[in-house]
Chains A and B, each alone.
Chain A
Amino acid sequence: MGEVLAGYRATAAARMTELVRAESLVKHFPSGGWLLGRRPPVRALNGVTLSVLRGETLALVGESGSGKTTLARCLLRLTAPTAGRVVFDGIDLFSLPEPEIRKLRRRMQLVFQDPAAALNPRMTAGAAIREPLEAHGISRGSEAKARVSALLAEVGLPPGLAERFPHELSGGQRQRVVIARALSLEPEFLVLDEPVSNLDVSVAAQILNLLADLQEKRGLTYLLIAHDLSVVRHMASRVAVLYAGRIVEIGPCDELYERPLHPYTEALLSAVPSPDPLQSKRRVILGGEPPSPRRIPAGCPFYGRCHHTRRDDRCAGELPVLREVGSAHWSACHYAETLGARR
């Protein structure tokens, strides 16, 4: 973990404009069972260091269980990490007392994967958007009502919808309500946890366009969690690839898509269907499964599934650290350069 931190330092220029920084975050979920001996903890995050820059969209990709959601929750102080720090605009989040953090919550918000679960089934859309306004003393009474209508209009919903309960709304409408609720506090930083994976393709496209418009208009910073790589390519300026609770590659979106420098990223990208039937691609099919988060091997966590031609004993024994392999392009593969060259 320390090596990862040592290996990856944001450049001085990036640090100037960074909004959120995670420093070697570790999150282990303890396993129960004191009676018959403890099982090893679930290691969801194993030393993640990354910065989210102001105004950018940083995408977080990786398969289920790679720690994406845990990382997002730590960044918003919804889950306390086992070790490491989160710094939001120069403030160490986990050193703040609870009342202070509630004030800071105005600046960072969350959009959920399943909008039906993210809304209280017994609260109307209007009440849901209004609650944070009143809790933070932003506006009350008829003023709050006007704010709710304005927010609904901003996410493309008619004001009459404020009276409806979540089960009376469509999936897309619900997600718009969730976005309006998050925007009610006028945050700078928005975590989008798979915002469209529960929606139809056409509705998903509308929501993505809405999010892009809102970002432009309000100067928002996004952390986009997704496993649909075409969505990521459409939205993101930078991409971080998570594998077994570690960042294995991070870089500018276009460059990473054109020239992946980690075998795992390469395999992920090769799974994206191409709209061009004539373009033949080499499909990398991964065997096996990601390592169990209870038993992560000593060397490279990807060793068991790696298809890299240079894979050797060094990979099995030594954990590769993130190192800069291109301009602002970092990879945690011992043989990142030869992966790029071979292709």
Chain B
Amino acid sequence: MNRLRALLIAGSGALIWIRWQRIWDLLQAGDFSDRMAALAALAAPLVFALGRLPDRWKRARLDASAWVVLAILAAALLAPVLAPYDPTAQLDLANRRLLPPSPAHPLGTDLFSRDLLSRLLYGARLSLWIACFSVAIAVVVGTGVGLAAGYLGGTADALIMRLVDTALAIPRIFLLLVVLTLWEQGGIMTMVLVLGLTSWFGTSRLVRAEVLSLKQRDFVTAARALGIAPIAILLKHILPNALAPVIVTATLGVGQIVLTEAALSYLGVGVPPPHPSWGSMIADAQPFLPTHPWMAIVPGLALAGTVVAFSFFGESLQAKLDPRRR
């Protein structure tokens, strides 16, 4: 653990040393997320040096998938610091188009002479930002609906669940295409909302099932016998015990939504250009597949790697959150 700590301190220190000028610029004249990235880069060595993990986390022991997920999240967060160029800047349309990988452009450049490594990193930031916000919306809405259905029971439950069944019967990608085509100029926020509001159905079913089984458990009966108010039973006894599977599906959902967003961007209704997105990068690379295969392969690998990492992380979380296996 100490060697790892030393490595993390050295790595984050080196990053500040190498990219000091960039960090300074970001702090001076960047938007909110740029400044956050710069501050995170500056704080990292300090956090690694002084930070103490809570005992509960230490015991959990991070496995490989957790490290990969953390690395992806760090790369996304620090994109402004790590990326060598502005991802939307057309550097030199005359001489620097479609360059192969080189020290100046580690992953080459695209048709508009934009640096592909920068686009990949910023693409990760945008994709994960969209995915995390959508999942947050889905978890909040799904948990609320599931709690209501499971706890109220009877007619309310039947009504809510039939609505959910109906929504689940509509193919999601079709629904997304229709909505995003209707609100074409809505921008990224619309996309986050639409993705979030179409992915809570599964969560609500899961929470409802948990609530139904928890309602029968002795400790809930005990709470009733003790005269605890129903709302307190719901929030203090049922909700915390129903949350573990929700956390797991949320993690899996991040991977899913990254994939969906890439598909939508590939189809041209997702992230609007010139914002970088892995899906649109693959779409842009399509004409050059025979001559410049790395242009499609690199974002494709990043996409696949992220989805796989989140899936494995979700599964390991499932094992860790199960009290019987702790």
Contact = CB atoms under 8 A, between A and B. Distances in A.
B99 to A, nearest CB: 56
A-B pairs with lowest CB-CB distance, top 8: A105-B227, A102-B227, A117-B218, A132-B226, A118-B218, A120-B219, A110-B225, A122-B240
Given A131-B236, A135-B232, A167-B323, A118 B219 contact: yes
B237 interface: yes
A121 to B, nearest CB: 6
Interface in B212-236: 217-219, 221-229, 232, 236
A102 B227 CA distance: 5
Contacts of A112: 218, 221-222
A122 B241 contact: yes
Contacts of B222: 110, 112, 118-119, 178, 181
Contacts of A120: 219, 223, 236-237, 240-241
Contacts of A117: 217-219
Contacts of B221: 78, 110, 112
Given A117-B218, A120-B219, A122-B241, A131 B226 contact: yes
A256 interface: no
A234 interface: no
Contact of B225 (A78, A103, A122, A167): A78
Contact of B224 (A78, A103, A108): A78
A114 interface: yes
A333 interface: no
A109 interface: yes
Contacts of B219: 117-121
Contacts of A102: 227, 229
A136 B218 contact: no
Interface in A93-121: 101-103, 105-106, 108-110, 112, 114, 117-121
Contacts of A110: 221-222, 225
A132 B241 contact: no
Given A122-B240, A122-B241, A131-B236, A185 B227 contact: yes
Nearest to A76: B225
A103 B227 CA distance: 7
Interface in B170-221: 217-219, 221
B217 to A, nearest CB: 6
Interface string A248-292: 000000000000000000000000000000000000000000000
A270 B326 CA distance: 45
B226 A121 contact: no
Contacts of A167: 323, 326
Contact of A135 (B218, B228, B241, B326): B228
Interface residues of A, number: 28
Contact of B226 (A101, A103, A122, A135): A135
Q: Which of A102, A119, A122, A132 counts the most B-chain CB atoms under 10 A from its CB?
A: A122
10 contacts: A78-B221, A105-B227, A112-B222, A118-B218, A119-B222, A120-B223, A123-B237, A132-B228, A135-B232, A167-B326
A132 B236 contact: no
A43 to B, nearest CB: 21
A121 B225 contact: no
Contacts of B236: 120, 123, 131
A105 B226 CA distance: 6
Identify which of B223, B225, B240, B323 gathers the most chain A CB atoms within 10 Å of its CB.
B225
Given A112-B218, A117-B218, A131 B224 contact: no
Contacts of A131: 223, 226, 228, 236
Nearest to B228: A135
A131 B224 CA distance: 12
A102 B224 CA distance: 8
A120 B240 CA distance: 10
Interface string B142-172: 0000000000000000000000000000000
Nearest to B244: A122
Interface string A73-107: 00010100000000000000000000001110110
Interface in A184-242: 185
A151 to B, nearest CB: 13
Contacts of A135: 226-229, 232
Nearest to A127: B236
B317 to A, nearest CB: 16
Contacts of A181: 222, 226
Given A112-B218, A132-B227, 6 more contacts: A102-B227, A117-B219, A119-B219, A123-B236, A132-B226, A136-B227
Interface string B230-261: 00100011001100000000000000000000
A103 B229 CA distance: 11
Contacts of B218: 112, 114, 117-118
Interface string A49-79: 0000000000000000000000000001010
A144 to B, nearest CB: 14
Contacts of B241: 120-122
Contacts of A178: 222
Nearest to A73: B221
Contacts of B237: 120, 123
Nearest to A115: B218
B289 to A, nearest CB: 52
A163 B228 CA distance: 21
A207 B219 CA distance: 20
